[in-house]
């Protein structure tokens, strides 16, 4: 996993979150803390994030893997090998 690819995945996740929660300030996110603890995201927002990953990037996230997406760092670790980024 290259650092460049990880940064692309992080950017993708942050873009999706900013579309779903446009009023949230994402500049001070701690990548190791829960996204829902830091942002005003409810369970529907979380599902919207998962749906946008599928729609925009053809990444399927089964429900049993949702805990991997709890933090920004977890999102990057989980999604990087699943995304087809050049």
Residues whose CB falls within 8 Å of the CB of residue 20, separated by 6 or more in sequence, listed in order: 41, 45, 48, 49, 52
CATH of domain 3-21+30-82: 1.10.1200.10
Q: Where are the domains of the chain?
A: 3-21+30-82
What SS3 class is residue 21?
coil
Q: What pLDDT shows up at residue 71?
A: 97
Q: Tens digit of pLDDT for each residue in 29-64?
A: 999 999 999 999 999 999 999 999 999 999 999 999
Judged against a pLDDT cut of 80, whether residue 86 lies above it is answered with no
Size (the chain), residues: 86
Q: What pLDDT shows up at residue 36?
A: 92
Give CA–CA dist 31/11, Å, rounded.
Answer: 12
Give CA–CA dist 55/40, Å, rounded.
Answer: 23
pTM for this entry: 0.92
């Amino acid at each position: 996993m290259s650092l460049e690819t990880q940064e692309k995945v992080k950017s993708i996740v942050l873009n999706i979150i900013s579309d779903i929660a446009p009023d949230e300030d994402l500049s001070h996110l701690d990548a190791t803390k829960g996204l829902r603890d830091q942002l005003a995201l409810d369970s529907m927002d979380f599902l919207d994030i998962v749906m946008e990953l599928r729609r925009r990037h053809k990444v399927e996230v089964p429900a049993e893997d949702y805990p991997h997406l709890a933090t920004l760092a977890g999102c990057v670790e989980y999604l990087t090998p699943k995304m087809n980024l050049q």
